Amino acid sequence: MSGNTFGTIFRVTTWGESHGAAVGVVIDGCPPGLPLGEAEVQKELDRRRPGQSDISTPRKEEDRVAILSGIFEGRTTGTPISMIVRNRDVDSLPYEKLRHTPRPGHADYPYDAKYGIRDHRGGGRASARETIGRVAAGAIARKVLAEHGIDVLAHVIALGGVRARESEITPALIKENIEKTPVRCADLNAAEQMIELIRSVREQGDSLGGIVEIVATGATAGIGEPVFDKLDADLAKALMGIGAVKGVEIGVGFRCAGMKGSEMNDAFEISPNGEEVVVSETNNAGGILGGLSTGAPIVCRIAVKPTPSISLPQKTVDLRTMQETEITIKGRHDPAIPPRIVPVAEAMVAIVLADHLLRNTALKPHTKTL
């Protein structure tokens, strides 16, 4: 199986299956000398950990990370960083009856069609537990970005038809409110409505989708590679590479199709704070033009599909007999994916930005002291 590695200089390879012994990641290309410990990685993994509230999966995993290589005396060495997270709370029994009946909305059937064999337990390699490696790598990418004053934040702006008041949400408000509610919506009034809707839909045996917005602040102009390796192209690939994501937009996204050029173009001006820096009055482009950052906040949004594992009866096919049949999925599943996808989306954007920063500059040892 190819396609498990992402990035050009900052390269991330994830491995492992949902109900296997462990999942993990190898990061190659991280600059040497960055202060790093397991606690910093664990902080991000705790944000995506299952079982944190009554509106998420009841699977109980501590997701304790162990760094196996690439760190010496609390600093990165420039060699590959390998991290592992053991799977502890595994219950594969509910999946036995689904061994030969692909679940609608899951990757079961195309995996069978491509490989002729698959790990059916918990979705195997296609499970959301694969994203543990992405979040762990993202924690290290954040260290690279912090050296350049770049921060990445994400929040849920829509869930099941309930929408946050986006015009009132600033990066500061996201940072202040994001962990105050289990749905990770910075609009706390909308968050309460989302929670009630999730509980109602879960009782019906169904699930919900939503929209997550990711904002990167502090990026200077000129980050990215023109033509085929555009910054927005790599961001789109990274975000579409998350299992539940079915759409990506940058800036105003699809709304640009209904705008005039005079409405879409972001006029340039000299920074009003007195610096001789070119800034834009608006940010319809989402901080990227021609595949390069403009210096404005980089804004992406992802459409996240409803959780495909639902307890309602669904039509499928028994691959042994090639007869139509019906299944009811049991097990432990999130009724809505957007709240838990927030740290994953942040990680993927951080990985892309770190990779492009390193492509812009020569690899140099870290020289700051603690």
Where helices occur in 265-305 by DSSP H, the ranges are: none
177: tokens are 């409110």
CB neighbours of residue 286 within 10 Å: 25
Q: How far apart are CA 19 and CA 185, in angstroms?
A: 30
Query: For the residues of 161-197, what is the DSSP string, one character each?
Result: TEE--GGG--HHHHHHHTTSSTT--SSHHHHHHHHHH
SS3 291: coil
Domain assignments of the chain as residue spans, ordered by start = 5-251+286-360
Residue 369 neighbours by CB under 8 Å, 6+ apart: none
Query: For the residues of 129-153, what is the DSSP string, one character each?
Result: GGHHHHHHHHHHHHHHHHTTT-EEE
Indicate the length of the chain as a whole number: 370
Q: Residue 120 in contact with residue 189, Cβ under 8 Å?
A: no
Q: How far apart are CA 85 and CA 136, in angstroms?
A: 10
SS3 123: helix
Token match 């702006």: residue? Answer: 157
229: tokens are 């390796």
Q: How far apart are CA 361 and CA 23, in angstroms?
A: 32
Topology of 5-251+286-360 in CATH?
Chorismate synthase, AroC fold (3.60.150)
Beta-bridge partners for 75: 35, 72
Pairing of the two strands 210-217 and 5-6: unpaired
Give per-residue burial for 313-342: e unless 16+ CB within 10 Å, then b: ebebeeeeeeeeeebebebbbbbbbbbbbb
Q: Residue 331 in contact with residue 95, Cβ under 8 Å?
A: yes
109: tokens are 């059937």
Question: What pLDDT shows up at residue 168?
Answer: 82
Sheet holding 151-159, edge to edge: 162-163, 151-159, 210-217, 298-304, 245-250
Tens-digit pLDDT string for the chain (370 aa): 789 999 999 999 999 999 999 999 999 999 999 999 999 999 999 999 876 666 766 656 789 999 999 999 999 999 999 999 999 877 788 888 899 999 999 999 999 999 999 999 888 899 999 999 999 999 999 999 999 999 999 999 999 999 999 888 999 999 999 999 999 999 999 999 999 999 999 999 999 999 999 999 999 999 999 999 999 999 999 999 999 999 999 999 999 999 999 999 999 999 888 778 899 999 999 999 999 999 999 999 999 999 999 999 999 999 999 999 999 988 668 899 999 999 999 999 999 999 999 998 744 445 544 3
CB neighbours of residue 21 within 10 Å: 10
Amino acid at 344: V
Give per-residue burial for 214-241: e unless 16+ CB within 10 Å, then b: bbbbbbeeebbbeeeebbbbbbbebbee
**Full-model pTM:** 0.93
Pairing of the two strands 210-217 and 314-318: unpaired
87: tokens are 């799977």
Where helices occur in the chain by DSSP H, the ranges are: 38-48, 93-96, 108-115, 131-146, 171-177, 188-203, 231-240, 261-264, 338-360
Q: How far apart are CA 290 and CA 292, in angstroms?
A: 5
Q: Residue 239 in contact with residue 300, Cβ under 8 Å?
A: yes
Question: What pLDDT shows up at residue 140?
Answer: 98
Q: Residue 231 in contact with residue 291, Cβ under 8 Å?
A: yes
Residue 174 neighbours by CB under 8 Å, 6+ apart: 153, 154, 155, 186, 215
